[in-house]
Amino acid sequence: MDRVRIKSISLDTYKGSNITVCGWVKSKRESKNCTFVIINDGSCQSDLQLVVDPSGFSSILPAVTTGASIRASGTVQESLGKGQSFELVVSSLEVLGISDESYPLQKKGHSLEFLRQIAHLRGRTNTFGAVFRVRNVLSRLVHKFFQDRGFIWAHTPLITASDCEGAGEMFRVTTFDLGSVPKTEDGKVDYSQDFFGTSANLTVSGQLEGEVLCSSFSDIYTFGPTFRAENSNTTRHLSEFWMIEPEMAFCDLKGDMKIAEEFVRFLLANVIKEARGELEFLQKFYKDTSIQTLEEISSKDFTRISYTDAIEELKKQPASKFEYKVEWGMDLQSEHERFLTDTVFGGPVIVYDYPKDIKAFYMRNNDDGKTVAAMDVLLPRIGELIGGSQREERVDLLEKRMLDMNMSLKDLYWYLDLRRYGSCPHAGFGLGFERLVQYVTGMTNIRDVIPFPRAPRLIEF
Ligand code: 4AD
Ligand code: MG
């Protein structure tokens, strides 16, 4: 007999039928004539109540303890008790894997900090079950948004020889024996003897390769892991995170902002439809989120403001308001971003045209000579969700910028070739997937929205 997932059981389809279910025991309640076993199989938020006659299963029931995995068959019937509309009256029961009192999820109401220490088991809690199922719904929606618009899902490499963001925050990839690294005559590491014949790293972004592919397919997107070796222990940073990077040929900054806004609004509008039950559950415990807020944000236009005007807005505040002094040319700190979203505009804000000195080499130079066609989408509570730009498509300006930044033209010749053979205006952005999941679920720590978080000194699971 095939196993039925708890998610698919309803009285309409299964009332009176005999089915088999599997799952992990959450609790067992015994009375004289009846034992109730609550199981969950992770397919949905709902548990299933098994009604077991203790006289028929006296040899098996002692091993049916919290955490054990079981298989049960029986008849689906309307439930007489409160809290569920149906239950399974068990005719056969089998323990597949035992569990004992040391099982750490015995009691209710564990802290998120504690659960982080048992990341290998936390998916069995209601909270993490909901968060990771919402993550799955959002992943599906990401693909739906771009696939419905004719974008090609492009797979860009995780191992690269370039540093897209130029911040030098990369993990090295090498097969050298670290105890005896080959050196050149002048004492430097001799990467010519390494696996790739040059130094290699885990990618911080798939953008440069994304630009290559958009130069053949017009509209592409990536959705995959990226890696950053920045030593920041914050609730918004991971060392390994997933990013979605669309890249569009024949598109300028305006078009880029438009699609970024449509994308975020689409995701919010649809996740509240497709994961309503999970979100309602999360909201009971984590007050940072509300379906109503997500709904409002998905239905209103995002505010757009140039970096220069944003600085003017921030300067209206007394200097004591912020830890970091507000000056044209500075990078916006999260306190500034949140002031703009939470206090000034009360919603998402797109800041554009940033000073070129604080942005990456590939961004398109504006005519003022001081700014580049960059944009960041900022969300209340989370801050930066998206970073993007129109790309510099003029080879002379790009080469000049790279030389100014001490970059090698030779190493990125293929990137420059795109500007030599059929160059076109193009633009794209990167959305940090975990920040999106954080925003939607209301989790305050980014480590609670990815099953196996990677951060400085955190790689246990
Ligand atoms: O702003 P970033 O660095 O932009 C890029 O990487 C561009 N190459 C994207 C592009 O134009 N194709 O990163 C994009 C987004 C940020 O807005 C943020 O949401 C997220 O990635 N992000 C992180 N998320 C979690 N942990 C980190 N350490 C992150 N760093 C960036
Ligand atoms: Mg950024």
Mean pLDDT, 10 residues at a time, over the chain (461 residues)?
92 97 97 95 97 96 98 96 91 98 87 95 96 98 98 98 88 97 96 97 98 98 97 94 98 98 98 97 88 95 98 95 95 95 96 97 98 97 96 98 96 97 98 98 96 96 94
What number of residues does the chain have? Answer: 461
Backbone angles phi and psi of 288, in degrees to 5:
-65, -20
In tens, the pLDDT along 165-182 reads 888 899 999 999 999 999
Domain assignment present for residue 412? The answer is: yes
Q: Which residue has the tokens 């509570």?
A: 381
* Residue 290 CB burial class (10 angstroms; 0-12, 13-18, ≥19): middle
Spatial distance between the Cα atoms of 266 and 258, rounded to a whole number of angstroms:
12
Domain assignment present for residue 174? The answer is: no
Give the mutation target among 435, 443, 458 for probing the ligand 1 site: most ligand atoms within 8 A of CB: 435
Q: Tell whether ligand 1 has an atom less than 6 A from the beta carbon of residue 135.
A: no
Q: What was the pLDDT predicted at 289?
A: 77
221 contacts: CB under 8 Å, gap ≥ 6? 146, 151, 152, 153, 154, 210, 244, 245, 246, 247
Q: What DSSP letter does each residue of 425-446 carry, written as one string?
A: -EEEEEEEHHHHHHHHHT-SSG
Owning domain of residue 309: 123-169+204-448
Domain assignment present for residue 242? The answer is: yes
Identify the residue whose C-alpha is closest to ligand 1 atom 5: 430
Contact 122, 128 (CB under 8 A): yes
In tens, the pLDDT along 68-81 reads 999 999 999 999 88
Shared-domain flag, residues 80 and 131: no
Shared-domain flag, residues 154 and 87: no
Q: Report which secondary-structure segment, H or E, holds 385.
A: strand 383-390
Beta-bridge partner residues of 383:
379
Spatial distance between the Cα atoms of 280 and 311, rounded to a whole number of angstroms:
38
Domain assignment present for residue 186? The answer is: no
Q: Considering only CA atoms, which of 401, 382, 394 is closest in space to residue 439? A: 382
140 contacts: CB under 8 Å, gap ≥ 6? 274
Atom of ligand 1 nearest to the CA of 230: 28
Q: What DSSP letter does each residue of 327-364 carry, written as one string?
A: -TTSPPPHHHHHIIIIIISSS-EEEEEEEGGGS-TTBP
Identify the residue whose C-alpha is closest to ligand 1 atom 6: 205
Shared-domain flag, residues 157 and 297: yes
Spatial distance between the Cα atoms of 457 and 448, rounded to a whole number of angstroms:
16
Shared-domain flag, residues 152 and 42: no
Q: Report which secondary-structure segment, H or E, holds 155.
A: none
Shared-domain flag, residues 403 and 264: yes
Domain assignment present for residue 355? The answer is: yes
Q: What was the pLDDT predicted at 1?
A: 57
Shared-domain flag, residues 264 and 217: yes
Q: What was the pLDDT predicted at 94?
A: 98
Last residue of a domain, one of 45, 62, 97: 97
Q: Tell whether ligand 1 has an atom less than 6 A from the beta carbon of residue 208.
A: no
Domain assignment present for residue 395? The answer is: yes
Q: What was the pLDDT predicted at 91?
A: 98
Q: What was the pLDDT predicted at 164?
A: 85
Backbone angles phi and psi of 3, in degrees to 5:
-80, 140
Spatial distance between the Cα atoms of 206 and 213, rounded to a whole number of angstroms:
11
Shared-domain flag, residues 342 and 377: yes
Q: Tell whether ligand 1 has an atom less than 6 A from the beta carbon of residue 435.
A: yes
Give the mutation target among 211, 239, 241, 377 for probing the ligand 1 site: most ligand atoms within 8 A of CB: 241
Q: Tell whether ligand 1 has an atom less than 6 A from the beta carbon of residue 129.
A: no
Spatial distance between the Cα atoms of 103 and 10, rounded to a whole number of angstroms:
31
Q: What was the pLDDT predicted at 261?
A: 98
How wide is the angle at C-alpha 127 spanned by C-alphas 100 and 5, nearest 5°? Answer: 75
Shared-domain flag, residues 14 and 67: yes
Q: Count the Cβ atoms, other than its own, within 10 Å of residue 160.
A: 20
Shared-domain flag, residues 441 and 330: yes
Q: What was the pLDDT predicted at 262?
A: 98
Pairing mode of beta strands 48-52, 86-97: parallel
Question: What total of structural domains would you count in the chain?
Answer: 2
pTM above 0.85, yes or no: yes
Spatial distance between the Cα atoms of 312 and 315, rounded to a whole number of angstroms:
5
Domain assignment present for residue 461? The answer is: no
Spatial distance between the Cα atoms of 220 and 207, rounded to a whole number of angstroms:
10
CATH at residue 16: 2.40.50.140
Q: Report which secondary-structure segment, H or E, holds 84.
A: none
Q: Count the Cβ atoms, other than its own, within 10 Å of residue 120.
A: 12
